[in-house]
Structure 1
Amino acid sequence: MSVRYAIYFAPAKDTPWWDFGAHWLGRDEHDNTALPQPLLDEVSPTELASITQAPQRYGFHATLKAPFRLAAGTDEPGLITGLRTLAQTLKPVALGPMRVATLGNFVALIPHTASADLQALADACVTGLDHFRAPLLAADLQRRRIEQLDERETELLSLYGYPYVLERFRLHLSLSGPVDEAVAQGVTQAVSAHIDRLNTEAPLLLDRLCLFVERNPGTPFQRIIDLRLQA
C-alpha cells in the first residue's frame, strides 16, 4: 500500500498560529487550496515560494509520529480509533514561548524550553501507535539518509521507523526547506517580531493530535481529522 499516514500537531484552523503558518507556507492543508503568502522586505516573493516548497507539502505542523504505511491487518478507521483512544489519555501541553531557530540547514519554530510533559506526550505517540506502522521499505531507508545517522539514531530508525524520537525528539514547526545562512537570517528577521506578538497574544498550546494522509506518493499531505486531548 502506497498511502502514508502521519501524526502531527497543528494549530486549529483559523486561529492566529494556524493563520500565520498556513499563509507562510501558502497552503491550507485541510482542502489543499493555495493561500497568499506574506509580502516581506527581507525575503522576495519568489524566494519565499522556493524555500517553502518542501514544507508546504506537509502543512504547518510539528511531527509526533513520522509518516508511515499501515501494517498488515490494520486500516484507516482502526488507526483513527486508536488515535482517539490515545488522545483521551493525554493532556494539553503549553509549548510557548516559541522562537525562530536554524536547525541544521532549515528554519523552524521551536519552544524556548522543553518540558517533561511534552516529552512524555511525544513518546506516547511514537510507542502507543507503533503497532499500526508497517516495516520500512528500502526507499524509506534511502530517504532517511541512514549513512548520516549515528548509532542511536540508526537504532531508533529500526525500532520506530524514524531516528528523531524518544530522547532524540525535538519539537519543531518547519518554516523552510534547506537554505543558506543568509536566507535563514532573512527568514528570522522577517518573522521574529510576529512570533513574539503571537507568544504574548495567543500562547501556543498543544491541544490536539492531527491525522494527516498522503494518498499517493509525492502528493501533499492532507489533514483529515483532529482529536482533542482530553485527560
Structure 2
Amino acid sequence: MQELEESLMVTQVEIASVYRSSKEIYEFFKRFTDIILCIIASIIAIPITVITCVFVLLESKGNPIYSQERLGKDEKSFIIYKIRSMSCDAEKNGPRWADKNDERVTNIGKFIRKTRIDELPQLYNILKGDMTIVGPRPERAVFTYEFEKTIPGFTNRLKVKPGLTGLAQVNGGYEITPKEKLYWDLKYIEEKNFAKDLNIILKTVVVVVTGHGAR
C-alpha cells in the first residue's frame, strides 16, 4: 500500500513537471511569435498609421496618438497607445465607458474603430512586452476595480498578459457586457494553447473585414 502511494506521488510530481515544461515552452514560443508577427505587421502598419494620423489631424486638433494607462498582468499598469478616435475633450467630465453610438467619436474615428486601425500602435506595446497578440483586452484601473465590486473575480483577467485581440473580441467585440467579457477571457486563460491562439487570430481577421462588434 505504501509503495502504491509513493508511486502515485511520483507520478503526480512527474505530471506537474511536464505541465510546467509545456507551459514554459508555450510562453516562450508565444513571445517569439509575437515579436516576429509584430515586425512583419509593422511594415504595413506604420504607413497606414501615418496616413490615418494625418486624417485625424485634418478633422480635429490635438495629438493623433492617444496614450492611456491600463492594467496589465498581475495588475501592473502600463501606457497603451492608440490612434485617437474621439475628440480631445472626450473625458472633460471624467472617465466614461464607450457607448455603441458614442457622440464623442469623430467621423474618421468611426471608420478606424470599425476596422480596428486605431489599435495598430499597440504593436509597439507588444514589442515592449507589455502586451501579447492574443489575450484579454487591457482595461483601465478605474473600470476594472469598479466592475470587481459587482462582478467578483473580474480582476482574474489579469493573470495573463493583455492582448491586442482575444476570445471576447471575436465573440461580440466591444458590444458585450463586462460580465460576458469576463466569461470569455477566463475561458481563454483556462484553455489557451497554440491552436486556440491561431483560431482567434484568424477570426480577428474576419472581424476586421466585417467590422463586427465595433462601436
TM-score by length of 1: 0.27
Larger relative contact order (CA 8 Å, sep ≥ 6) = 1
In our comparison, the structure showing a higher alpha carbon Rg is 2
Structure with bigger helix share is 2
